[in-house]
Each structure stands twice: as structure tokens, then as C-alpha cells.
Amino acid sequence: DIAISGVAKAGLIYNSEGEESTRVHNEVLLTFDGTGETDGGLQFGFNTNIIIEDNGGVANDDTTVFLSGAFGKLSFGSVAEADEVAGLSDIGWEGLDVDDVAEALVGDELEDILDVDLSHNVNYTYATGALTFSLSGQLASGGHGADNVDSYAAGIKYSFSDAYVGLGYADHGVGIASADVVSVFAGGTFSGVKVAALYSDASLKDGLGGKADAKAYGLNASYTMDALTLSLGLGKADYDGVTDHTSVGIGAAYDLGGGASVHAGLAQVKSPGDENLEAFPDGAKALADDKEVRADFGVTFTF
């Protein structure tokens, strides 16, 4: 069976350092979900997202194929990196990338620094009771061709009542350079406040004896009163004393019913935008010190 759903958005995006500080944005996302079951009781399916932004081209916004059963769940395509056990939500409408500062070392985010595609394309996840265990990697494929990248990750998550803790580990090799990342995650809902936090530590080696260390951490908290949800995001990344990145943002969302909602966010982010961040640690390029004020406001419709 194939189910179709969709999301449409329209609104405004502000960035104090943008070429045009304010711009309108709209997008339509069509989601196709295929689901089935074998005679032996295995579940299988796919998830494909087709997006059109600002009346532009037709693009793939993540496609996965999966097979699951008693053995766990095996996913192919745009899969989660296993070490990103519980990422933080972003702040705002279209997203101000407040979470990116805290998440700069986990999942495939180091690709901004290492300047190669670190996204994984195979994920295996096994859940038993309160424990969830995941492995993922970037295997050679048509989308991840013959290159010098070896990237693997593992993660474990323990859930209890309304909370969880998690641990992630990733090992990236890019030619002779490498990076090891350890990350810790915790979150839950306490007295109506939903909190998620992460701490991560990366050890980077350039393969010639050069070493660097980086730490990134942050949290997201949100509180919902009837139709209104308020949220706060904080992030910090410390690149071995060379440079600091920081983010702080607040957001609000109001549910209009029927699948529609209004969202707004305001944030101050000191680097990195992809446009600002440069390679680290092979050079001192992470010094980019661009403090941006970001805001967005818009409607989100779900179908």
C-alpha cells in the first residue's frame, strides 16, 4: 500500500548577514510511504519525500527503503547515523539552525569541517524492551562512490518512563585523517517541560601527527500550553580553544487546528553557517567569527 501525505509552508526568513536580509520562502513536500508484510511476518516499506522550494526544481528530500522483523530493522538510503541517538529539535519555523552548533560533531555534521560527505546509507537498529541499539555506516554505492571515506557509528539508547539516556560513538576516516566522536544524550518530559540535551567530544587527527580536540553541547526545551508551544535552544562548540561557536534561540508555535500552525523564531548564532564555516583542523579556518541574528516566521500546513 502507498500512502500520500504532504506539508506546505509559506513565510519569511531573516538573516542579519544575508545578501538579502529578508526573503520570502515557500515549499511543498510530498511524502510517499509504502508499507507491506511478507507471509512470514516481516514488515517492509519505503519512504520518499519529494520537495519543491520557491517554485524551483523537483528534488528528493530523503528516500529510504527498509525491512524489519524479529531480527531488528535494516534501512537503506537516507538513514540516521547511529551515533546521533537523539538529536535536538531546531528553533523557529523553517529552522534557524540553533541545534547545528550543539550537533556539529555528531551524525554526519562533521562533514562541514572535514569537507566530505559523511552521511551514512545503511542502518541496523535492534530494540528490546527499553534498550535500542543501532549501527550505521557509509558503504560504497551509486550515491557514495569510490572515495577515501570510511565512516561508521554506533549508538545505544535506554528509555524509562518519560525519559531517555543515550551514548553514541562514531569513527570517521578520510584518507589519512580521522575523527573519533563520543557523545552522550539525555532527555525527557518533566512537569510538562520537554527537554533534550547532548554533549559530544571529538578527537581529530590529520594523519601527520597533528591533533585537535573539539567539544560541542547544547539543549532544547519546550513547553506546551493548549495550542501554544514555546521553545528554547542553546548550543556551544569549543574547537580546542581556537574558536567558539555559540547559539541561543527562542521560538513559538501556535496550532490553528486542521493541520495548520504558525511558527516564529529568533536566534543569535555565532557561526557556523555553511557559508561561514571553513575547514578544521587542517588550518585555522574555523576562526570565522560571524555573529548572525536570525529570525523566521511562517505558516506550516500538513495534509
Minimum distance of its own copies from residue 3's CB (angstroms): 10
| Footprint of its own copies on 50-89 (CB under 8 A) | 50, 52-60, 62-67, 74, 76-78
Q: How many chain residues are in contact with its own copies, going by CB under 8 A?
A: 70
Q: Determine the 3-state secondary structure of 288 from DSSP.
A: coil
| Complex with its own copies: residue 70 or 208, whichever CB lies closer | 70
Cell numbers 569541517 correspond to: 113
Q: Tell whether residue 46 is a contact of its own copies (CB under 8 A).
A: yes
Report whether 302 contacts 5 (CB < 8 A).
yes
Q: Which amino acid is at 55?
A: N
Q: Tell whether residue 135 is a contact of its own copies (CB under 8 A).
A: no
Distance CA 92, CA 94 (A): 6
- Could you tell me which of 177, 190, 217 has the C-alpha nearest to residue 87? 217
Distance CA 234, CA 211 (A): 27
Q: Mark the segment that binds its own copies (CB under 8 A) among 8-16, 108-116, 182-190, 266-274.
A: 8-16
Window 23-42: contact mask with its own copies (x via CB under 8 A): xxxxxx-x-x-xxxxxxx-x
Maximal CA-CA distance, the chain: 58
Out of 72, 173, 188, 259, the residue judged to bind its own copies by CB under 8 A: 259
Minimum distance of its own copies from residue 230's CB (angstroms): 20
Neighbours of 231 (CB within 10 A): 22
Q: Tell whether residue 226 is a contact of its own copies (CB under 8 A).
A: no
Report whether 88 contacts 218 (CB < 8 A).
yes
Contacts of 61 (CB under 8 A, 6+ apart): 29, 49, 50, 51
Out of 163, 193, 228, 256, the residue judged to bind its own copies by CB under 8 A: 256
| Complex with its own copies: residue 149 or 252, whichever CB lies closer | 149
Q: Which amino acid is at 124?
A: Y
Q: Tell whether residue 48 is a contact of its own copies (CB under 8 A).
A: yes
| Complex with its own copies: residue 8 or 135, whichever CB lies closer | 8
Out of 70, 128, 145, 208, the residue judged to bind its own copies by CB under 8 A: 145
Window 171-210: contact mask with its own copies (x via CB under 8 A): ----------------------------------------
Give whole-number Cα distances, 217 to 106, 158, 175, in Å: 10, 20, 27
Contacts of 38 (CB under 8 A, 6+ apart): 44
**Residues interacting with its own copies, by CB under 8 A?**
1-2, 4-6, 8-10, 19-20, 22-28, 30, 32, 34-40, 42, 44-46, 48, 50, 52-60, 62-67, 74, 76-78, 121-122, 139-146, 256-260, 299, 301-303
